[in-house]
């Protein structure tokens, strides 16, 4: 039971159990609670499934593996396992930021499981490779991000962590750390950030067969417009929607528009089918 992916990922299921499944995957530095303004809108006509990536939110700390989760493939394996264990079919996968890359990779591992991919502020690669590709960042800038994360670890978690991790007699300490939103154990955040921001998954795009919706925000300084266009060109069966929403987290800053765009897309998809 400790081993069940449902427990491991702190899975929360709501909505109509007979309706099509919507699986929401959060991005780096967050947890499933980021979907709180968006997910409820789908409950009347979907089975809504929320989960935390291992190492994030309230996932079980013991299940996190520094080797498995050193790359996004490990996270994608988790998603496939989760879908299989929940017995979901024709899943509409909604991923934000790196969550969307994880969804793309997962769709290559189990080709039958997904019906649609909804990609919120996605990027297959954050690095610049001039002259063909501009992910938005130089390597040195992303390394600066890693140092920043390390620094913010230092501020609180790493002083607490040795106590938390070593102290089997006081599991409540660990619990407390887990409860705080978006918190990650030191090392985990750093490793997840490295897997997210220093990887290059452009090569995998051509293999993706599941139709997708790319939701590109205005003024997104993490995933710039040319990245959305690149994805659109390289993902077969993709639709590109430019949002009025600004920033990198439209599901938090502009939930109504986010819901509407996803709804419209799913309605059109249903009609086309």
CB 50 within 8 A of CB 24: yes
**SS3 state of residue 185:** coil
Cβ at position 239, least distance to another protein in Å = 24
Handedness of CA 114, 118, 121, 123 (dihedral sign): positive
Specify burial of residue 152 (Cβ count, 10 A radius: 0-12, 13-18, 19+).
Answer: middle
Q: How far apart are CA 100 and CA 121, in angstroms?
A: 8
48: which strand partners? 14, 22
Phi-psi map region of 247: left, alpha, beta (phi>0 left; psi -120 to 50 alpha): left
For another protein, the closer CB: 111 or 147: 147
Q: How far apart are CA 37 and CA 40, in angstroms?
A: 7
For another protein, the closer CB: 29 or 40: 29
Cβ at position 66, least distance to another protein in Å = 5
Cβ at position 160, least distance to another protein in Å = 13
Cβ at position 29, least distance to another protein in Å = 3
For another protein, the closer CB: 218 or 233: 218
| Catalytic residue of the set 53, 96, 248, 254 | 248
- DSSP secondary structure of 210-222: S-EEEEEEET-SS
Clarify whether 232 is annotated catalytic. Answer: no
Q: How far apart are CA 193 and CA 208, in angstroms?
A: 24
**Chain centre distance of CA 262:** 16
| Catalytic residue of the set 220, 238, 251, 254 | 220
For another protein, the closer CB: 14 or 253: 253
Helices (H) and strands (E) in the chain, counts: 10, 9
For another protein, the closer CB: 65 or 226: 65
Q: What residue ranges bind another protein (CB under 8 A)?
A: 2-3, 8, 27-30, 33-34, 36, 60, 62-63, 65-66, 97, 137-138, 141-142, 144-152, 154-156, 158, 166-169, 181-182, 187, 197, 219-222, 246-249, 252-253
Cβ at position 38, least distance to another protein in Å = 12
For another protein, the closer CB: 48 or 149: 149
Estimate the crossing angle of helix 139-152 against helix 188-197, to 10 degrees: 160
Alpha helices by DSSP H, 87-217: 98-109, 139-152, 158-166, 171-179, 188-197
| Catalytic residue of the set 56, 97, 123, 238 | 97
Cβ at position 166, least distance to another protein in Å = 6
Clarify whether 248 is annotated catalytic. Answer: yes
Clarify whether 220 is annotated catalytic. Answer: yes
- Residues known to be catalytic: 97, 220, 248
């Amino acid at each position: 039971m400790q081993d069940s992916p449902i427990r491991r990922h702190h899975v929360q299921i709501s909505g109509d159990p007979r309706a099509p499944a919507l699986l929401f995957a959060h991005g780096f530095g967050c947890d499933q609670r980021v979907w709180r303004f968006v997910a409820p809108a789908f409950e009347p006509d979907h089975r809504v499934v929320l989960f935390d990536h291992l190492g994030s939110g309230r996932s079980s700390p013991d299940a996190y593996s520094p080797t498995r989760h050193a790359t996004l493939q490990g996270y994608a394996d988790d998603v496939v396992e989760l879908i299989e264990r929940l017995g979901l079919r024709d899943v509409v996968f909604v991923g934000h930021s790196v969550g969307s890359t994880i969804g793309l990779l997962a769709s290559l591992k189990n080709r039958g499981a997904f019906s649609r991919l909804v990609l919120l502020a996605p990027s297959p690669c954050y690095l610049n490779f001039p002259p063909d590709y501009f992910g938005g960042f130089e390597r040195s800038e992303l390394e600066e991000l890693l140092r920043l994360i390390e620094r913010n670890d230092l501020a609180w978690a790493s002083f607490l962590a040795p106590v938390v991790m070593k102290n089997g007699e006081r599991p409540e300490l660990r619990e407390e750390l887990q409860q705080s939103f978006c918190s990650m154990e030191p090392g985990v955040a750093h490793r997840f950030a490295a897997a997210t921001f220093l990887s290059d998954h452009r090569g995998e795009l051509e293999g993706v067969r599941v139709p997708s919706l790319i939701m590109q925000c205005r003024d997104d300084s993490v995933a710039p417009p040319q990245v959305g266009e690149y994805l659109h060109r390289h993902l077969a069966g993709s639709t590109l929607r430019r949002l009025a929403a600004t920033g990198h987290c439209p599901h938090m800053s502009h939930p109504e528009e986010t819901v509407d765009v996803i709804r419209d897309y799913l309605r059109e998809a249903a009609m086309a089918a």
